[in-house]
Amino acid sequence: MLSLDLSGRTAVVTGGVRGVGLGISRAFLEAGAEVVAVARREPDALPEAGGRTARFASLDVRDPNAAQAFFASLDRVDVLVNNAGGTPYLPVSDGEVRTHVKLIELNLTSALIMSRAAAARMRELDSGGSIVNISSVSGTRPSPGTAAYGAAKAGLESLTASLAVEWAPRVRVNAVTLGMVRTEQSHLHYGDEAGVAAVERTVPLGRLADPHDVGSACVFLASDLAGYVTGSALLLHGGGERPAFLDAATANKEDAK
């Protein structure tokens, strides 16, 4: 039977109270899961969907002891979505070295810490568990201005593939590799609505992803429909980006007319 019903399962979503993480939390609520949204600071409002509300847990996902204590406090753990992360624009030559190291810790090390602690609980279940890592196309191509972030995301996809082998068959581990997503922070990256529209025209599907698009992909990977999917990275980028050389080549042809 084809089903995305996650009733009776508990999903932990890091960074699950705003932006992409809020969309992920809402998608799991809609699928029937009990959701624990993790962040450093409690939001003004908790994620809601389908008449249900997520629980909140304050946690530094980079702290191994805190992570272990957190998972030990839960009745069960079926799903972990490692979404906590992000980056400012910061070339490697700028800022303090420690800032770049902390970006790698947030976007890569935290996923290792949380996954290790969660997997121990997932092995207690007859059904095992599922871990979904939120990655980025910045880890698969040059990422000037966000090099530490891109390096961390490249490492996250390698970590995903390795853990999928180490923890099979009890725990499935996959990644969702994001392109551009429209959130409440979009103006910081793309400018006003005109800027967003200009960026959207570069995407083959003609729009930025919505956080619910990301949530839907995560629910699929956590569901029984993806029971034979592990060690995979699902590209969620609307078709990607048109290669710059094609635009350059087209411009040269136009100039020659």
Task: Check: CB of residue 17 under 8 Å from CB of residue 56.
Answer: yes
* Residue 149 known to be catalytic: yes
SS3 track for the chain: CCCCCCCCCEEEEECCCCHHHHHHHHHHHHCCCEEEEEECCCCCCCCEECCEECEEEECCCCCHHHHHHHHHCCCCCCEEEECCCCCCCCCCCCCCHHHHHHHHHHHHHHHHHHHHHHHHHHCCCCCCEEEEEEEEHHHCCCCCCCHHHHHHHHHHHHHHHHHHHHCCCCEEEEEEEECCECCCCHHHHHCCHHHHHHHHCCCCCCCCECHHHHHHHHHHHHCHHHCCCCCCEEEECCCCCCCHHHHHHHHHHHHHC
* Residue 225 near residue 4, CB atoms below 8 Å: yes
Pick the catalytic residue from 89, 149, 190, 228: 149
User: How far, in whole angstroms, is CA 167 from its chain's centroid?
Assistant: 20
Residue type, 53: T
What are the catalytic residues? 149
